[in-house]
Amino acid sequence: MNGDFRRALGFGLLMIAASAALPASAQVVPDGGTATTVTVDGSGRTTVGIAPAGAGDISRNSFTDFSVGTAGVDLDNRLVGARTILSEVTSANRSVISGPLQVLGTRAHFILANPNGITVDGGRFINTGGVTLNAGTARLEVSGGQTNVVTRTDPDSGILIGPEGLSGAMTSLQLAAGRLRIDGPVLNENTSPFADIALVAGNAELTHDSNVIPGTTTSAFATRTDLPGADSTVLVDVTPRGSLTASRVSVAVSAAGAGVSFAGTGFASIGEFAIDSQGQVRLDGGTARAERDLAIRARDIAILNAPEREARVESLSGAVTLRADLGDIAITGRVTGVSRSGADPDSRGGVTLLASDAINLIGESADRLTIVFASDGDLHARADRIHNDNARLLANATIDLEASSRIDNVTRVIAPGRPRVEILHRPRGLFSFFFGRPRTVRTSRDFGRAAIPGEIASIAGESIRISAPDIFNSGNIFALDGPAIINAARVHNLAAPSGAFSLVKRCRIVCWSRGFSTADVLGGAISAASGLEITASESIRNDSGSLLALGNMELDAPFISTEARFLPSMMNLPIGLHNLFAGPRAVFAQDPKGGTIVSSGGEVLLRSTLPVRVIAGEIDGSVGVTATAGIIRPENRVPRGGVAAQRIGLFADWLP
């Protein structure tokens, strides 16, 4: 167990223990420093007579204890008419909110500042404007003739949202602490498109604008300022039971190196969803969904499936932008966006992936496909390395991939087996004394199979643009309604062998044989609905793959080669006069697979320094083939292997 995990676990247990230790009844005790009064009725409901409002219409109240039990707490604003009600805890006691907190009279913003931490488990806020729960301190600050409440987080204190959660119709909900753990539902029921939930972790200040009317959402209730600090632990932990639901949702972590663990559900039902961290953002089976734009910016980003849940990052009508400034983007879940965001300078399309190191997409299983999809715009990815392993990159517009090192589109194949030959002799008997012992030869080989049955690594869009020094493809790259343009130093297109074959031959006086073969090539297909253009400064190699264009095809490299792969095929012949006394017969052969360069509706133009090398492959253009340095075809020698076909029977020499 590493130190970061121990600290995070200890933090969570500490907050749970603090929550359990406090009584369920309301505990609101003024410390005498402000003109604040408290009364409790027979049901246990507490009414707080708040202090008179001062500058900025702010009522400042200080307490040794401020907790809300199931009976609830009323903040009486009927005579005071405060615009903001500030409650500060000055003792060492934690605040626990497990019931309704209501503002009586004129609606007001509510701010609770407690440096000892805050637990909410069944809390509900009624008749409030903006609500800030700050695990830290508060002060009044005058700026430009205006007095505002400024809260500051305590890096060693935290906020815990328990299983019963937090709810209310608030113009804004700000949860600010050194650490945040969301273990229940957090729901802002305000339906304004600007109503939000904001999580702020680390070392930060929130400045609350005292001029903002409590009922409006058009002006920002709180503005964040990040302060210096560093922390390598997870500061925001949204558990599988946790959820964040509002018109807009944001998560911000200020401490350098600190991260976000998001295993729950977040939904920005009308607006944007944003996560901003200087550490890792990790969605372990979590779902982040927004009606409009969704952006995650962090040191590195991981969108990973959990054993029981699939990870999803989705925009329903806007863009998805993932930016890893100092590390990788890893995806095993699903990322879907619609169209480019004009408001986000990082957005290049419906989905944008930007990483300083690598972008890794890894497919896990047939029932949990890894998919990145831009439904009505471009898909843009830029990194040092892009590795697509049995996943799908899809767009209904252009797919634009750019890497400074290499791009791999890999169909993972379970390792093939070695050829096997078994020879079996039956025991000697009286019959074998005259006719010999029966001899059976079994020849077989497993060429491997796709790691995910029926799934091939795919890059498919209306048009394709790919650029990197090294490009390797053993999957499919399809431009479905436009050109495909590939620029590299070295391009290697490979179709991997797959399937199996088996041949059984049994001989005594005569021989019979039976066999089957499913051997074929898998992946290694690059095609374009119009033109296909591949330019490489060193080489283009097509190993048993296929290059296909419905329009013109242009390959430009000093060295170009295409080669087919020989794989076994089998044909079982029926019984007839030619094998009347021998039985069925299997014909075994080695057939070339792949190695094709074809334009079905245009010309194939091959620009090279050396002659184009063709080994058992095919180059064909419906308009013609032009090779500037010519084409050489070394002698194609069909490899030997397997068991040769036998023509045995009573009339074998007379019948075809």
**Is there a domain that residue 472 lies in?**
no
Q: DSSP secondary-structure letter at 256? A: B
Inform me whether the pLDDT recorded for 219 exceeds 80. yes
Q: How far apart are CA 522 and CA 210, in angstroms?
A: 65
Domain membership of residue 605 as a residue range: 414-450+483-632
Total of domains in the chain: 2
**Is there a domain that residue 152 lies in?**
yes
**Is there a domain that residue 269 lies in?**
no
The pLDDT score that the predictor gives to residue 634 is 87
| Backbone dihedral angles phi then psi of residue 3, each to the nearest 5 degrees | -65, -40
Q: What confidence category does residue 330 fall into, taking pLDDT thresholds of 50, 70 and 90? A: very high
Could you tell me the two tokens for 345? 């300078």
Instruction: Please identify which residue in the block is written with the tokens 């230790």.
Output: 21
537 versus 449: which is more confidently predicted?
537
Q: How far apart are CA 133 and CA 151, in angstroms?
A: 9
Inform me whether the pLDDT recorded for 652 exceeds 70. no
Cβ-count burial 109-148 (b if 16+ within 10 Å, e if not): bbbbbbbbbbbbbbbbbbbbbbbbbbbbbbeeeeeeeebb
What residues pair up with 252 in beta bridges, in sequence order? 200, 276
For residue 492, give the 3-state DSSP assignment: strand
Q: How far apart are CA 591 and CA 93, in angstroms?
A: 80
Inform me whether the pLDDT recorded for 434 exceeds 90. no
Inform me whether the pLDDT recorded for 315 exceeds 80. yes
Q: What confidence category does residue 9 fall into, taking pLDDT thresholds of 50, 70 and 90? A: very low
Q: How far apart are CA 188 and CA 200, in angstroms?
A: 16
For residue 477, with 0-12 CB atoms within 10 Å meaning exposed, 13-18 middle and 19 or more buried, which class applies? buried
Average pLDDT over residues 195-220: 96
Average pLDDT over residues 170-174: 98
144 versus 248: which is more confidently predicted?
248
How crowded is the C-beta side of 343, counted as CA atoms within 13 Å?
A: 9
Strand 463-467, strand 520-522: pairing: unpaired
**Is there a domain that residue 388 lies in?**
no
Q: How far apart are CA 261 and CA 282, in angstroms?
A: 5
Instruction: Please identify which residue in the block is written with the tokens 């807009």.
Output: 248
Q: Could you say which of 219, 248, 277 is where a domain stops?
A: 248
Inform me whether the pLDDT recorded for 647 exceeds 50. no
Q: What confidence category does residue 8 fall into, taking pLDDT thresholds of 50, 70 and 90? A: very low
Q: What is the DSSP string of 506-571?
A: EESSSEEEEEEE--EEE--EEEESS-EEEEEEEEEEEES-EEEESS-EEEE-SEEEEE-EEEEEEE
Q: How far apart are CA 254 and CA 225, in angstroms?
A: 9
Give the largest Cα separation in the chain, rounded: 120
Inform me whether the pLDDT recorded for 437 exceeds 80. no
Inform me whether the pLDDT recorded for 646 exceeds 60. no
Neighbours of 40 (CB within 10 A): 14
24 versus 373: which is more confidently predicted?
373
Q: Supply the pTM of this predicted model.
A: 0.89
Q: What confidence category does residue 7 fall into, taking pLDDT thresholds of 50, 70 and 90? A: very low
Q: What is the CATH number of the domain that holds 116?
A: 2.160.20.10
**Is there a domain that residue 370 lies in?**
no
Distance between first and last Cα of the chain: 74
The pLDDT score that the predictor gives to residue 577 is 57
Selection from 562, 555, 561 nearest residue 607 by Cα: 555
Q: DSSP secondary-structure letter at 577? A: G
Residues constituting the chain = 656
Average pLDDT over residues 478-494: 98
Q: What is the pLDDT of residues 35-90, one digit of tens each?
A: 999 999 999 999 999 999 999 999 999 999 999 999 999 999 999 999 999 999 99
Is the CA virtual torsion 38, 41, 44, 45 positive or negative? negative
Mean pLDDT (the chain) is: 90
Which secondary structure element, helix H or strand E, spans residue 29, and what is its range? strand 27-30
Q: What confidence category does residue 583 fall into, taking pLDDT thresholds of 50, 70 and 90? A: low
Is 486 within 8 Å of 459 (Cβ atoms)?
Answer: no
Is 162 within 8 Å of 19 (Cβ atoms)?
Answer: yes
Q: How far apart are CA 604 and CA 601, in angstroms?
A: 10
Q: Could you say which of 214, 248, 282 is where a domain stops?
A: 248
Q: What confidence category does residue 436 fall into, taking pLDDT thresholds of 50, 70 and 90? A: low
Q: What is the pLDDT of residues 498-549, one digit of tens each?
A: 998 888 887 766 677 788 888 999 999 999 999 999 999 999 999 999 999 9
The pLDDT score that the predictor gives to residue 579 is 55
Selection from 414, 406, 312 nearest residue 357 by Cα: 406
Selection from 561, 562, 553, 560 nearest residue 532 by Cα: 553
**Is there a domain that residue 137 lies in?**
yes
Average pLDDT over residues 384-396: 98
Q: How far apart are CA 521 and CA 500, in angstroms?
A: 11
Neighbours of 421 (CB within 10 A): 12
**Is there a domain that residue 375 lies in?**
no
Q: How far apart are CA 600 and CA 92, in angstroms?
A: 79
**Is there a domain that residue 467 lies in?**
no
Q: How far apart are CA 189 and CA 170, in angstroms?
A: 7
Inform me whether the pLDDT recorded for 645 exceeds 90. no
Cβ-count burial 574-607 (b if 16+ within 10 Å, e if not): eeeebbeebeebbebbbebbbbbbbbeebbbbbb
Q: How far is CA 414 from CA 446, 450, 480, 497, in A?
A: 10, 6, 29, 11
| Lowest-confidence segment of 20-29, 150-159, 502-511 by average pLDDT | 20-29
Inform me whether the pLDDT recorded for 24 exceeds 50. no
